[in-house]
Structure 1
Amino acid sequence: MAVIVTIEFPGGTQEQYEETTRVLQATDWFPPKGFLAHAAGPDGTGGWRVVDFWDSEEDFIAFIEKARPIFERGGVRSVLPTVQPAVNVILR
């Protein structure tokens, strides 16, 4: 079942996000298995928010394990994502 993953990065910056995204996209395994869609932006409180759509929670967890060193190098500290079922995902 598809899932919606929301991650809040208190104090996260656009610069951190853009650099981390650039490095991720340059890997030979991007896009990762199960990845459907991604959106990110300021959270309105001085941090950064990411919302992803994945085929399954297992695919998301596998991605995080593979990407963890990239996040750590980018100064993105560990946070607990919110994962919830997606009834429907429509891609344009």
Structure 2
Amino acid sequence: MAIIVSFDFPGAGQELYDSVIERVTQGQGFTRFADLPNTGLLSHAAGPVDGGFRVTEIWESAEALEHHARTFGPILADLGHGDIQPTIFPAHNVVLR
């Protein structure tokens, strides 16, 4: 079952997001996040919100997200945001264009 995941980073901005993406892409030999082989990732969007930054994703399953978290979790912890708990809920409908 597809899931929707939202990560809020209070007090953070695009700099944090760009730092995370840079570390992930460099470690795998890619220059863009969109080129990473994130198996199970259907959609990814990120941008500023009042008081911070938000990343919202749609994943094919909770297992796919958990696999992905093994890469991003340690990077976020290293950058001082290891305590971020995402909001996760089942997707009733997903439209991709």
TM (norm. structure 2) is 0.80
Is 1:39 the equivalent of 2:45?
A: yes
CA distance in 1, matches of 2:80, 2:92: 33
- Structure 1: where are the runs of 5+ without partners? none
Count, aligned residues: 91
In the TM superposition, structure 1's runs of 4+ consecutive aligned residues that sit over 4 Å from their partners are none
Aligned sequence identity (%):
40
RMSD: 1.8
Deviation of 1:80 (Å): 0.9
One-letter code aligned to 2:22: R
CA 1:41 to 1:27, structure 2 compared with 1: closer, same or farther past 3 Å?
Answer: same
Specify the alignment match of 1:61 in structure 2: 66
Q: What's 2:93 paired with?
A: 88
> Which sections of structure 2, spanning at least 5 residues, go unmatched?
30-35
Alpha-carbon deviations, 1:8-56, whole Å to 9, x = none? 1111111111121122233439332211111111111x21111000001
TM-score scaled by structure 1? 0.83
